[in-house]
Amino acid sequence: MNLKTNESRLVKMAVQGKPANPIRFAEFELDADGHGHSLPSVGGITYNVKVGDTAFGWRGDHIEPGVSVILDEEKRAGRQNMAFQFLACIGNEAMVISGSAKGAKGTVVGHHGGVEHLIVDFDAKNA
């Protein structure tokens, strides 16, 4: 069977982001019993939470597995950041282009709307 595709006409582009700094939404949050907690939240590079791990049991709130990436933290709703989010698709290859992990390759595994983070997973050997 010969499958016809439009692969030869697809536009190939590169986009470049940076690890998103962790965000702290409040000094502490109250649980259902009125106890205050200060927990890690979105952003940063999360070394011990990976794609496929359970979402339960962690001492955190909205933890993003792997590396949270953004183009512009100051203009999350800006046009350039929205283009970065749109063009970086789940399954795309990601590559570190500077620093001690230069050359490491990972995979785009998701988006986190609201904070506009792109989630990239790297093999443990690249962490």
User: Residue 125: pLDDT above 80?
Assistant: no
User: Residue 37: pLDDT above 60?
Assistant: yes
pTM of the model: 0.84
- Measured CA to CA, the distance from residue 103 to residue 76 in angstroms comes to 27
User: What type of residue sits at position 118?
Assistant: L
Residue with tokens 């702290």: 24
Q: Read off the pLDDT of residues 9-35 as tens digits, 9 standing for 90 and up.
A: 999 999 999 999 998 877 888 889 999
Q: Read off the pLDDT of residues 54-91 as tens digits, 9 standing for 90 and up.
A: 989 998 888 999 999 999 999 999 999 999 999 999 99
Which two tokens mark 8? 């030869």
User: Residue 108: pLDDT above 90?
Assistant: yes
Q: Is residue 103 a contact partner of residue 123, using CB atoms and an 8 Å limit?
A: no
Q: What is the mean pLDDT of residues 117-127?
A: 83
CA angle 70, 116, 25 (to 5 degrees): 100
